[in-house]
Amino acid sequence: MKLFLLAAADTSSVGHCLQQAGFVCEVVVSAQQLPVHDERNGLLVVFCSNLDELLECHHPAMVAIFFAQQDLDVTLMLQALHNGAVDCWSAAMSIEELAARGEALMARLQRTYRATQRVAQDGEAAVRLSHLEQELQEDQKAGQSIQLGMLPAQHKRMGGFCFSRWVQPSLMLSGDFVDYFPLQDRYLACFLADVAGHGASSALLTVMLKNISWRLQQKFGRPRFESPGDMLAWINETLIGQGIEKHVAMFLGIIDKEAQTLHYSMAAQYPPALLCHSSGESVFLRQEAKPLGLFPGATFVADNVDFPAGSTLLVFSDGVLDCLAPTDLAEKEAALQTLAEALPQPVKLWSRLCESLKNLDDVSLLAVQHDRSA
């Protein structure tokens, strides 16, 4: 049976136990590398040896198992189940017990998968992918790997701030892109871009956005490159000059570490970014502006707000709206704000949103936490 081992720490002992019990495990370093869109896999069984890793595995296609490298106690089991595990295993179990657990689990998952499959049961629906389709899928997997490689390091700390990003594509390739980087010694930049549509054509534009990140780092401080609004105007002209018939929504923020302020500008970015204060209250950062890539000569407003220690900036792509129950946009905004205030840790907020993924659109989250000790 094919299983996945999420390896954010030393998992050699976990992998050895599973191998001894007859399991075949593929090691991945991020939940975003799991093939959740490959229907041939059905439900994916993911082993996590760290409680926080369970929070990354709330996609409807994933079944998370907590594998403790020590004896399980009631407190540890309850915490694992609270974080989304469907079962708890331990290295202290015998090989026979692990194998028996695996057989029971797979039998249960197969029954669940068959019950939820909507594919017709006649012979026509069971035809395997053609060789050409398989090649295309391999190309998409390679493209997905390249996209993941372009994303900045997860939970990256710079100058008293912690930057995190999550991107869940509706297909294998994403039109959403997140980046953050230092600008000289005093400033930090971050942005979330949402390219119209999804799939290969939108994903190609994210490669250009990565190149734009590099160019912004080189140009910052020169005339026209001090304000985030001016930066968006330059990005707009760059995209139009390339003749790409795609428009882009974007949030661009520049953090002044010394003044503890956030300077920001937006291009048709929705829902509005949220600035959550240490008191538990939050405020939407609203601006009205045209999207990038459509209107030559468009200008973009820049605003600034205090960004004190203990505050968190949350920026979402519009795919997050599909994860919220209300149908009215104003009610969705209110639901998102309530959820963010109830779950101040970004990883837990992302985990909760992933519980309602519908794969209708790419979903992304950029989080910037200003350390309390800064």
What pLDDT shows up at residue 257?
Answer: 95
pLDDT exceeds cutoff 90 at 301: yes
pLDDT at residue 372 in the model: 83
Give the pLDDT confidence of 234-254 residue by residue, as tens digits: 999 988 888 777 889 999 999
- Which residues are CB-neighbours of 133 under 8 A, at least 6 positions away? none
The CATH code that applies to domain 2-116 is 3.40.50.2300
Fold of 139-370: Phosphatase 2c; domain 1 (3.60.40)
Q: Where are the domains of the chain?
A: 2-116, 139-370
Q: What is the pLDDT averaged over residues 341-346? A: 95
**What contacts 338, CB < 8 A, 6 or more positions away?**
none
Which of 3-17, 115-129, 234-248 has the largest mean confidence?
A: 234-248
Greater pLDDT, 109 or 52? 52
The maximal CA–CA distance of the chain, rounded, in angstroms, is 69
Average pLDDT, the chain: 83
Token duo for residue 290: 């045209």
Residue 119's pLDDT band (cuts 50, 70, 90):
very low
**Of the candidate ranges 139-148, 227-236, 344-353, the one whose mean pLDDT is the lowest:** 139-148
**CB distance 239 to 293 below 8 Å:** yes
Q: Is the pLDDT of residue 120 over 50?
A: no
Q: Using alpha carbons, select from 255, 253, 256, 270 the residue that is nearest to residue 316.
A: 270
- Which of 64-68, 108-112, 152-156 is predicted least confidently? 108-112
pTM (two decimals): 0.72
**pLDDT of 151 over the 80 cut:** yes
Q: Answer whether residue 231 shows pLDDT above 70.
A: yes
Closest CA to 273 of 367, 349, 342: 367
DSSP string, 307-339: --TT-EEEEE-GGGGGGSS-SSHHHHHHHHHHH
* pLDDT score recorded for residue 139: 64
As a whole-number percent, the residues of the chain with pLDDT over 70 amount to 84
CA atoms of 327 and 343, how far apart (whole Å): 22
Which residues lie across from 252 on neighbouring strands? Answer: 191, 265
- Least confident interval from 16-25, 43-52, 188-197: 16-25
With 50 as the cut, is the pLDDT of residue 260 above it? yes
Query: Are the C-beta atoms of residues 140 and 200 closer than 8 Å to each other?
Result: yes
Cβ proximity of 117 and 95 under 8 Å: no
